[in-house]
Amino acid sequence: MIYRAIAVLALCAIVIPAQAGSSFIDSLSEEERAWLKDNPEIRLAPDPDFPPFEYFDEQGEYRGMAADYIKLLESRLGVRFEIIQLKSWDEVLAQARAHKIDMFGAAAETPQRLEYMRFTPPHMVMPGVIVTARDFAERLTLDNLRTMKVAVVSGYVWHDLIVHRYPEIRLVIVPDITTGLQMTSFGLADAMVGDMATTSHFIHQEGITNLRVGTRLKQQLELALATRRDWPELNTILEKALTTITPAEHERIRSRWIRLESPSLFQSKTFWTAILAVSGGLGLIILVIALWNRTLKRQVDRRTRDLRAAQMQLIQAAKLESVGRLAAGVAHEVKNPLAIIQMGIDYLRGVVNITGEDAQAMTDMEDAVTRADTVIKGLLDFSREKKLLKQKKDINEVIRESLRFVSHELKQRNIELKEYLEPTMPEFEMDPNKLQQVFINLFTNAAQAMGKDGHLIVRSNIKALNTDDLNADAAGIFRQGERAIVIQVEDTGPGIDEAKVAKVFDPFFTTKPVGQGTGLGLSVSRNIIELHGGTIVLRNRASDGASAVLMFKISDGA
């Protein structure tokens, strides 16, 4: 076959000058010209993945050495080759056997293919090569590879050649050329056997810089045009057309696709992959360090806030303890004189007929004693040792009993009550009298804030807590997703001045006019709720009025 190729190339040098002044079509016989006229389109199916001989690029364009030859032949023959893109070379062969395609652009002649295709002399002849990354003292040949590990692509002609002629060679069977070249580059194989064109192409494509051609083999890869066996005219025409391709045109196509000079380091795909990998690794390390520092800063800030909050709580607790002791002393010292004054007022009312301004003065004195006594009772509640008498009970019952105590005041103020109590609330350990004190205080405060003509809304339910539910106090007691008993007491009053919301639980702080409140009700209520392991938050509603939200843990087994 190689001698046929040499003969064709030699004929080119003779025929081309003779035909330089005339058209190639004119040199064909009448029968051949008539055949081309009757067949203006010829279906050609390339091997879809056989670079650099032929392949389809990312845009689906037919590329490679065979594609360049087909373009030359189109211009000489005046016909159009219709390029059919199939999925695999096996599919190409199947379509050829069924005469659904007409020709190949690059194929090796085999006895099996000769049954349904005719072949021209080869127009692409590539020597076999041994590629290696090592320096050997002697020139490499297939004979002296017997003690080495040699990579070959499974099913390629070189695989069959070595298996049948050199069975002593230790083969490393690889699925593709790229894998074989990389294994040879990394020293996992001593050498690789392939053809010059494909090894050159993939060495440049992968940017492998340490491989070199150790030896060109006597064995060659010969590729020819192949046509349908029932179209002998086309085979003859293509053989004649191939003779018109000049040596310069052959060399131009060859040099465009086959380059064996070593690629520079900066052209190496492996080099840039390594650079990108190292850069990516360093970037990832820097990013991790930055994120870690940011996380540490957040943790430090959070711990600092927690420590400050704990410090403020300790200071507040110390203040409250001092205030409690002072309140207890003042209460005991003042309560006895108040009792004496009240007794004197009662005595005077019984023995003296007091009328007019004197009677009003006596009434004012009695009101003052009553207010003072209310303050004393609040002080005693605030300072009294906090002990709970717990029992299991439904909190809805406590809420209803508390509402019954304030129902008269709600009616007097024309305040409508709206109850939304969850009917299946679990019982939990509580002091019902203490919690009743809390609810009565909340209901009374809401009624007084509304004055007249409003709505008191009371809700109870079981809720899985989310981040919006966990304020600074609740976050230390409850966890996100934990189920808790939630009670809401809402009113439609004027709400609370935002500047004063943070102070409403401070002892003796009140928003009521002088003489109408002690400022101890909410402080005592919060203490009672905290003794139950719960929390209370007072905030303004989105529309109007204020809302008190109480949360209690659900007892185990509830």
How does pLDDT run across 230-251, given as a tens digit for each residue? 999 999 999 999 999 999 999 9
- Burial (0-12, 13-18, 19+ Cβ within 10 Å), 522: buried
List, in order, residues 6 or more apart from 219 with CB less than 8 Å away. Answer: 127, 128, 158, 161
The average pLDDT across 250-258 equals 86
- Spatial distance between the Cα atoms of 379 and 324, rounded to a whole number of angstroms: 8
Mean pLDDT of 311-317: 60
Higher pLDDT, 378 or 14: 378
CB 532, CB 388: distance < 8 Å: yes
pLDDT tens per residue across span 480-532: 888 889 999 999 988 887 777 667 777 655 665 544 555 567 878 888 888 88
Q: Which residues lie closer than 8 Å to 532 by C-beta, 6 or more apart?
A: 388, 430, 431, 434, 435, 552
The pTM score is 0.41
In the structure, what pLDDT confidence band is assigned to residue 8 with cuts at 50, 70 and 90?
very low
Interhelix angle for 395-412 vs 432-450, to 10°? 30
Q: Are 208 and 182 in contact (CB under 8 A)?
A: yes
pLDDT tens digits for 526-555? Answer: 888 888 888 888 888 888 888 999 999 887
The token duo for 407 is 């129902």
pLDDT digits (tens, 9 = 90+) for 193-213: 988 888 887 887 888 888 888
Question: What DSSP assignment string belongs to 318-346?
Answer: HHHHHHHHHHHHHHHHHHHHHHHHHHHHH
The amino acid present at 99, given as its one-letter code, is H
Q: How far apart are CA 459 and CA 247, in angstroms?
A: 97
pLDDT of residue 520: 66
Mean predicted confidence (pLDDT) in 379-392: 68
Q: Which amino acid is present at 517?
A: G
Of 253-262, 264-273, 445-454, 531-540, the range with the lowest mean pLDDT is 264-273
pLDDT at 256: 86
Q: Share the mean pLDDT of the chain.
A: 80
Strands 546-553 and 535-540: what pairing?
A: antiparallel
The rounded distance, in Å, linking the Cα atoms of 127 and 193 is 11
DSSP string, 480-492: TT-EEEEEEEEE-
User: In 10 A of CB 154, how many CB atoms?
Assistant: 11
| Average pLDDT estimate for 27-40 | 91
In this prediction, residue 507 carries a pLDDT of: 67
Q: Angle of helix 356-383 relative to helix 269-351, nearest 10 degrees? A: 140
The b/e string for 164-177 (b: 16+ C-beta within 10 A; e otherwise) is eeeeebebbebeeb
Give the residue, 180 or 315, on which the prediction is more confident. 180
Alpha-carbon distances, residue 131 vs 164, 373, 435 (angstroms):
21, 107, 90
